[in-house]
Amino acid sequence: MLYDATIKSALYSAKYYAPRGQKRLYLLGSLLAQRYLRPADLVIGIIGAEGAGKSTLIRGLFPGLELTNDDDGVNNRLTPIFNFSPENFFSGHTFHLDVRYEAAFHQMHEIVAAINKAIDHQRRVVIEHFDLVYSHLGYNAQIIFAIGDDVRVYRPSVFGPSPLKIKQEVDATIKYRLMAHSAEDITIHILNRDYGYEPPDLHSDIKHGFVIGFVEKPKIDINELENKVKKLIRRNVKINVAEGNFIEVDGEKIVCTGKRIHVKSSGEIQNFRLVKKFCFDPLTKEYLLVGVVGEERFDFFETLPPKDDNPAKK
């Protein structure tokens, strides 16, 4: 039922930068759905820590799918998969199930029975926190999306990889993404407050860091900006979720559409620094400011021209 020998796939795993903002995660989810999902995939595993952006990624993968957990408030309706009846013509064909959330209301054998009943009747089940139910199901997902510091896609076989191992790997890296996102929002906030910079909705991501683009080369002292960000980080101020698309940092509201993907306080951001020159991207015609966190060293400009000026102007 879960293995079709006529369909072969060369995919073992694939990795993508894990964006923080809502729109960026939606776009990535849409791309992954087009590239990797098959109509015959019935068991979809989603793996990642709390606040990693799993729900947002799912909305990008499956637009219109109603999620059944309570990330944004109390859910007052029964999860539809537990009411599934194959005799009901109007019954859904794709169900979402958050195992961690449902474990507070159902025994694990009830969750397993609901999943098996749905897939036995060719319904698709998107299982969030798949690692928690894996050993009880006795079989792997047909495709797994895991999110930590990056987004990983796996198409497992009976030989693995194990969802438990995948969970360990993404949980070990999520801290860098949370730190980078908080540092990014604080940097953008200071750029807006002190330099009048208006950030775009979409921009780039790098490993353990962020990229902020400017249409014109800004007249900003990067060392001064870095010191301002570090000063706030050292104060170890709380980073709280606020109403709407905002977080609250040091009593000030900052626009953020990925507001749960943050460290709890600025002091958790480790070894923040800015690359001390702007990089010109000849394709987008933008000047890029790069920020990174963590101890790892990066040689960002090793393949770029020695100067950061616009070569078209020379």
Kindly report the backbone phi and psi dihedral angles of residue 78, in degrees, each rounded to the nearest multiple of 5, phi listed first: -65, 140
> How far apart are the C-alpha atoms of 66 and 307, rounded to whole Å?
50
At the second CATH level, the architecture of 174-313 is 2-Layer Sandwich (3.30)
115 contacts 133 by C-beta, under 8 angstroms: yes
Q: Is 18 helix (H, G, I), strand (E, B) or coil?
A: coil
Tell me the mean pLDDT in the region 198-222.
Answer: 83
Q: What angle do the packed helices 163-195 and 222-234 form, to 10 degrees?
A: 120
Is the pLDDT assigned to residue 250 strictly greater than 60? yes
> How far apart are the C-alpha atoms of 310 and 308, rounded to whole Å?
7
**pLDDT per residue over 75-123, tens digit each?**
445 788 998 888 887 788 999 999 999 999 999 999 999 999 999 999 9
User: Which of 3.40.640.10, 3.20.20.450, 3.40.50.300, 3.40.50.11310 is the CATH number of 13-161?
Assistant: 3.40.50.300
For 153-257, where are the alpha helices, taking DSSP H only?
163-195, 222-234
Tell me the mean pLDDT in the region 49-53.
Answer: 88
Q: Parse the chain into domains and list their residue ranges.
A: 13-161, 174-313
Tell me the mean pLDDT in the region 272-278.
Answer: 93
pTM above threshold 0.75: yes
User: Tell me, what's the pLDDT at 72?
Assistant: 52
